[in-house]
Amino acid sequence: MPDTLASAGTLPVNLTRDLAGWISGLDRGDLPGNVLQSMRMALLDTLGVGLHGQGEDWTGIARDWAFGATAPDADDAATVWGEEDALLRTSDAAFVNGIAAHAFELDDFCQKLHPGAVVIPAAMAIAEAKNLNLGQLLGGIAVGYETMIRLSAALNPNQARLRGWHLTGVCGPQGAAAAASWLLWLGGKQTAWALGLGATQGSGLFAFNADGAMSKRFHPGRAAQSGVMAAELAARGFSGPTKVLETEDGSFLTAFSDYADGSKVLDGLGRRWELLTTNFKPFACCGSVHAYNDAAIAIRAKLGRSPLPGERVVAGLAKVVDVQCGYPYEPSTALFAQMSARYCIAVALLDGAVLPDQFTDERMASPDVCELAQRIEIVGDDYLDSIYPEKYPGWVEVHTANGIVREHRDNPSGAHDSPHFNTGLMSKYDALLGQKGQALKAMILEAPPETPVRSIVQAMAGK
């Protein structure tokens, strides 16, 4: 069957196999120093939030489910982060650790998805099971990040999101499959199979926003699990569709978006690293509202107080952010509050913080928070629409008797181009893990590439 969409220039011919060829042909020596350093920071951030997230209810449920399966041999297994003897199949370890990494909305983000919570659990599981080293792990993470981020950009993430897709679950299996394929030394054909098997598992619905359900935590874990499974099946000869990105009937790109541009997958691949645009989260909430948190905290500092009763509070939201985060606030689950622009702005104005302490049952139901959140006005803004999600902008105003106090941010404080990115990320890590995380921190940031990944796993368990 002719590829009419591909011939029209929307989806390049052989897109899947060209991407697979880049993945399988990439040598560790081809990775620039800034990419490797960026992946060390991403690894540190994700392990920190993943260890912090192991105590959440949804992580425990996933762990109990995974241990219902037959335990694997110790020399071909991976560990639940932070535990000494919690051995699982690689795909199941990736599942549990992916949920933990996304457990409290603290994981990294860009292009409307969360690459760290998917790619790093998948890559860690393979690297631990195969006794690989830190340098190899960083390379696998880089390949997975780059694949996942470029696929989201190619889908036109705003349009795909407006169709109800959670892009972490949609693009994540291919990011995890890319990382696992590279770490397993799969050839071009097998890598294309793995990408195809990953893509056919891509999913993730934003329906969790209706009631704050746990399914959002499920998506990165499932995506990590799916990608590992895809690569391991491909390594055994299980074929996947090698034209999954570009075929006329059933293309991944056109199934999830009416505005896909496949050229964004390959344009500058290996020369321009999109993973360098990844942002970290200093706040425990949706990345799309971080700029509003920064703005609200700055307004609170300017006023020297919280908004008074009767003072108007207005926030400008991009259309997609309004759909995703602009809903009326009522006390519900932590996720419902973490995704709510109104709630996050309210606690930022009242408490000067948007951290785990702001998402206890007591704080989420406090009368002062509810009253302020429910009277925040939301308006549209064409400028914000024009730059989101390449940037994550926002503004907040408080109308006082003495005039309007307004703060605008084109990007939040955790943005990749912030001059305080590294120090802010490490401060967050220290706040989450404290003294017990210092040995792991030193290993991630300073250990030579030859360091065994299994020693990193041991350090996570405090050994």
The per-residue pLDDT string of the chain (463 residues; one tens digit each, 9 = 90 and over) reads 233 333 334 577 899 999 999 999 999 889 999 999 999 999 999 999 999 999 999 899 888 878 865 567 766 789 999 998 778 999 999 999 999 999 999 999 999 999 999 999 999 999 999 999 999 999 999 999 999 999 999 999 999 999 999 999 999 999 999 999 999 999 999 999 999 999 999 999 999 999 999 999 999 999 999 999 999 999 999 999 999 999 999 999 999 999 999 999 999 999 999 999 999 999 999 999 999 999 999 999 999 999 999 999 999 999 999 999 999 999 999 999 999 999 999 999 999 999 999 999 999 999 999 999 999 999 999 999 999 999 999 999 999 999 999 999 999 999 999 999 999 999 999 999 999 999 999 999 999 999 999 999 999 998 7
Indicate the CATH number of 4-277 among 2.60.120.10, 3.90.79.10, 3.40.1030.10, 1.10.4100.10: 1.10.4100.10
What pLDDT, on the 0 to 100 scale, is given for residue 65?
78
**Rg of the chain on CA atoms, in Å:** 22
* Portions of the chain given CATH number 3.30.1330.120: 287-409
Report how far residue 413's alpha carbon sits from residue 421's, in angstroms, rounded to the nearest whole number.
Answer: 8
pTM of the model as a whole: 0.93
What pLDDT, on the 0 to 100 scale, is given for residue 199?
98
* Portions of the chain given CATH number 1.10.4100.10: 4-277
Three-state SS for the chain is CCCHHHHCCCCCCCHHHHHHHHHHHCCHHHCCHHHHHHHHHHHHHHHHHHHHHCCCHHHHHHHHHHCCCCCCCHHHCEECCCCCCCEECHHHHHHHHHHHHCCCCCCCEECCECCHHHHHHHHHHHHHHCCCEHHHHHHHHHHHHHHHHHHHHHHCHHHHHHCCECHHHHHHHHHHHHHHHHHCCCCHHHHHHHHHHHHCCCCCEHHHHHCCCCHHHHHHHHHHHHHHHHHHHHHCCCCCCCCCCCCCCCCHHHHHCCCCCCHHHHCCCCCCCHHHHCECCCCCCCHHHHHHHHHHHHHHHHHCCCCCCCCEEEEEECHHHHHHHCCCCCCCCHHHHHCCHHHHHHHHHHHCCCCHHHHCHHHHCCHHHHHHHHHCEEEECHHHHHHCCCCCCEEEEEEECCEEEEEEECCCCCCCCCCCHHHHHHHHHHHHHHHHHHHHHHHHHHCCCCCEHHHHHHHHCCC
Report how far residue 201's alpha carbon sits from residue 7's, in angstroms, rounded to the nearest whole number.
Answer: 26
Do the strands 394-400 and 312-317 form a parallel or antiparallel pair, or are they unpaired? antiparallel
The pair phi, psi for residue 233, each rounded to 5°, is: -65, -45
What pLDDT, on the 0 to 100 scale, is given for residue 275?
98
What pLDDT, on the 0 to 100 scale, is given for residue 85?
79
CATH code linked to domain 287-409 = 3.30.1330.120
